[in-house]
Each structure stands twice: as structure tokens, then as C-alpha cells.
Amino acid sequence: MAQTITEKIFSQHVGREVFAGEIIRSNIDMVIGNDITTPISIKAFEDSGAEALANPDGFSIVLDHFIPAKDIASANQARISRDFAKKHKLKNFFDEKDMGIEHALLPEKGLVVPGDVIIGADSHTCTHGALGAFSTGMGSTDLAFVMISGGNWFKVPESIKVNLSGKPKLHTTGKDIILEIIRIIGVDGALYRTLEFTGSTIEHLTMDDRFSMCNMAIEAGAKSGIVAYDDITKEFLADKDLAREPRIHYSDDDAIYCKTLDIDVANLEPVIAYPFLPSNGHSITKAVADKIKIDQAFIGSFTNGRLGDLKTASEILKGQKVHEDVRLIVTPGTQKILKEAFKLGYIDIIIDAGGVVSNPTCGACLGGYMGILGDGEVAVSTTNRNFVGRMGSRSSKVYLANSAVAAISAITGYITDPR
């Protein structure tokens, strides 16, 4: 019987054919924890009486939300993970010495590969589906169960086929495609389903685009997002020391989907998600007409903090100055991205324009630190959520956009069309 890529990944892990709707127990290839969620998992692990991890090489802890520590509480929180990593001799523990935002760092390290089943105690774990893997967020106690047993239970999700056609125009990116999808189907339109991105557009999308799309699948309620392995995936993985041999799967032509969504990307403008939902999407044309004045422009996070985003920003900012009433904050996804951006001159351009570049951190995205908004302030941001109070004050507003929009808006002081 025909299967989707998601059904095939689970079938290989279970050892028999499985289909959407089945409840299965699957082994896990990679478990991902961070400085906020992992201490809860560690407590549950230790309270259970467990003494050893079921698969220590398949467990990564990435300290990325409040590192370097912003206060005493975050310092103590991080120490729990540090002590656990030292006790269990974790080889995949990433702290300030080799830092990065978890969903940018692990693909860079080759720790997540095509065909994997991946879970993390972070809702945006679905990012790794860009590599042709099944990847999803779960709770901290679910992580503890995998730490103890090496596996977990799943309901195999139905899949929505997202058929993308046409070549994107300049400054229309993967971020705009996923914002358009969320605008169409809503924040619960893909609830417990996989968004499978297919169609002729895929060959025009970089890995940065694909990571952004899969990262925000959760904003449509999806269990996961996925893009099948192709030459672009192969090129991305070519220079990496992969943790496992890739297992390549493709959906059968007659696989069963619960829904098909067709989008002509060739005619898509940059999309701006107005407050206070990622589904509140509008065209850049409307945003320009609305004359939205901003106080802050933010470029970063594991949604849009990759090298391509910094390249785009630097091209727009070169020879320009950030508006006197605007703060431009740029957060690279990893230290490696930051170093490469330095070599290529991107960081000099950003700083010369009046921007500030921070260490890799999730801090600003979740309103923790390194870019908090004050009362009534407005930001255009390349992050993934714009809920009430997401980046600071409950009276602040966040408009989600791609990196080109954020960069040009930093110069003009208003949300501006970069084309």
C-alpha cells in the first residue's frame, strides 16, 4: 500500500509498514534539550531511579535561551544541565564554548540526518524536517521517558500535501511561503498533521528557506514539517561528519493525503504577519500603505538567523544608516555563522550601519533578554511568533517578516518593501 514519507520513516523505525492514525512505539535517533526545558527532564530522569541514558550519543543538550546567563536564576538553571552532562560524559553538550541556537546548531554539527526520528522539548523541533526527517516537539517528561527507554509513543500523523509551484521573486523567501500557508489555513489548520512541502518551487529554495518553513510548521498546529531529500540537501550535508548514515525516503505518487494545498509562489509578495497571530498575514503592499512605524528591527533566531539572512541584510544595509529612531539587533544562529559572516564582511556592514550584533541566543525571540520591547513599542522581527507580550511588554506589537523587510525597515523607520 502506498505511503507518505512520514509513514515510511516510522515504518523503518518500527520494522513493519505503518500508516496514519496508528499508535506506535518508535525508537528515537536524537533527543534535544535546552537550558529551559532540560532541567525538568533531568529531575524526572533522576526521580525515576534511572542511572544511565538509554542512548547517550543520541541525546543533545544545547544551552541557548539564556546563555551567557542573564541573571542568577538562569545561571542556576544552566548549571543543572552542565552538572548532568559532566556526570554522564555527554559528548553532545553545547555551552558557551561552542554555542548556537539548538535548531541551527544541530544540523550544522551533522547530528540530525535524513530519515531520523527526532524529538525535542521545544515546539520548534519541527525545524529538522527540512532534512527529510520526522522531527517534533514534546514535553520535558516525554524527553525523560526517551532518556530512560530510548523510545516513545506516537500517533502516526496524517499529511497535508503543500504543492508549491513557480519560482519565487526577489526577496520572497521560505519565510513568506510559510506565513502565506499559515494565513490560508490558520494557526490550527494542520493540527497534529505533517505539512509535506512539495512541488516545482522546492528546487528554488535554499536550505535556509526550508529550515524556516519547517520551523514554523508548528505555527499552523502541525506535528511536523518535512521536505524530501534532494541535491540541495545533499550539498548541505556534504561537508559534515554525520552522526548516522542517511536513510532516504520519498512519498509514493499515490500516497494518501488528508488535504492538498496549492500555492503559486511566483505571484507571492513578501508577507507580513500583523499582531497578534502568525496567521494574521498581509501583503507587503498593504503594510507599506498602512505606514507602520517601528522602534526595533530584529534579524535572527533559528527561524531567520542563518548566513543567508545576514548576507541579505548586509546587502541592503551597505552604505546606509539605521534610522535614528530605530534599534537594529542581529543575532546569528551559531558561532560558526557569526565567524563566517565576519570573514565575508557582513558584520562590519551591519555595525557600520548602526546595528548591534549579539551572541547566538533565543533571548529576544521569547522576550527573555537581548532585545526586549518596552510599553507600546513596535518591532518588525524575523522570529516565529508575535503573540501578546511575546518579545516584551504586553502593550508592544511584533510584525513578523523576512530578513530583507527587516533590514530595509531599519533604515526607513517604517515597514518597507525591499524589492
Rounded to 5°, the CA angle 320-324-330 comes to: 65
257 and 292 share one domain: no
259 and 386 share one domain: no
341 and 236 share one domain: no
Q: Which region holds residue 89: left if phi is over 0, alpha if psi is between -120 and 50, else beta?
A: left
Of the residues 206, 230, 263, the one at which a domain ends: 263
87 and 166 share one domain: yes
pLDDT of residue 393: 95
Whole-number Å distance between alpha carbons of 310 and 407: 10
Reported in sequence order, the residue ranges of 239-388 that DSSP labels E, i.e. its strands, are: 259-264, 271-273, 281-283, 296-300, 327-331, 356-357, 378-381
Of the residues 214, 240, 263, the one at which a domain ends: 263
| pLDDT digits 0-9 by tens, 257-313 | 999 999 999 999 999 999 999 999 999 999 999 999 999 999 999 899 999 999 999
Angle of helix 307-317 versus helix 335-343 axis, rounded to 10: 40
pLDDT of residue 363: 87
Would you say residue 419 lies in a domain? no
299 and 229 share one domain: no
The set of residues, in sequence order, having a beta carbon less than 8 Å from that of 321 and lying 6+ positions away, is: 353, 354, 411
Whole-number Å distance between alpha carbons of 103 and 261: 27
Return the H-helix or E-strand segment holding 62: strand 59-62
345 and 205 share one domain: no
319 and 406 share one domain: yes
Q: How far is CA 201 from the centre of its chain?
A: 20
- Facing residues of 160 across strands? 195, 259
Rounded to 5°, the CA angle 108-110-116 comes to: 120
| pLDDT digits 0-9 by tens, 29-74 | 999 999 999 999 999 999 999 999 999 999 999 999 999 999 999 9
Would you say residue 255 lies in a domain? yes
Rounded to 5°, the CA angle 195-363-116 comes to: 35
Whole-number Å distance between alpha carbons of 267 and 306: 25
378 three-class SS? strand
Would you say residue 210 lies in a domain? yes
DSSP string, 88-124: TT-SSEE-GGG-B-HHHHHHHHT-S-TT-EEEESSGG
pTM: 0.95
118, 121, 160, 110: which is closest to 135 by C-alpha? 118
146 and 41 share one domain: yes
Angle of helix 38-47 versus helix 72-87 axis, rounded to 10: 50
Would you say residue 338 lies in a domain? yes
Whole-number Å distance between alpha carbons of 79 and 82: 5
CB neighbours (10 Å) of residue 375?
A: 9
Would you say residue 350 lies in a domain? yes
Q: Which region holds residue 81: left if phi is over 0, alpha if psi is between -120 and 50, else beta?
A: alpha
The set of residues, in sequence order, having a beta carbon less than 8 Å from that of 176 and lying 6+ positions away, is: 168, 268, 269, 270, 271, 402
Whole-number Å distance between alpha carbons of 113 and 104: 13
Whole-number Å distance between alpha carbons of 335 and 360: 7
381 and 336 share one domain: yes
How many structural domains compose the chain? 2
> What is the extent of the structural domain holding 18?
5-263
239 and 316 share one domain: no
Of the residues 263, 296, 317, the one at which a domain ends: 263
Within the chain, which residues score under 50 in pLDDT?
A: none
Would you say residue 418 lies in a domain? no
303 and 191 share one domain: no
193 and 258 share one domain: yes
Would you say residue 417 lies in a domain? no
CB neighbours (10 Å) of residue 68?
A: 15
Residue 308 maps to which CATH number? 3.30.499.10
| CA distances (Å), origin 226, targets 159, 165, 266, 329, 373 | 10, 17, 21, 30, 33
Would you say residue 373 lies in a domain? yes
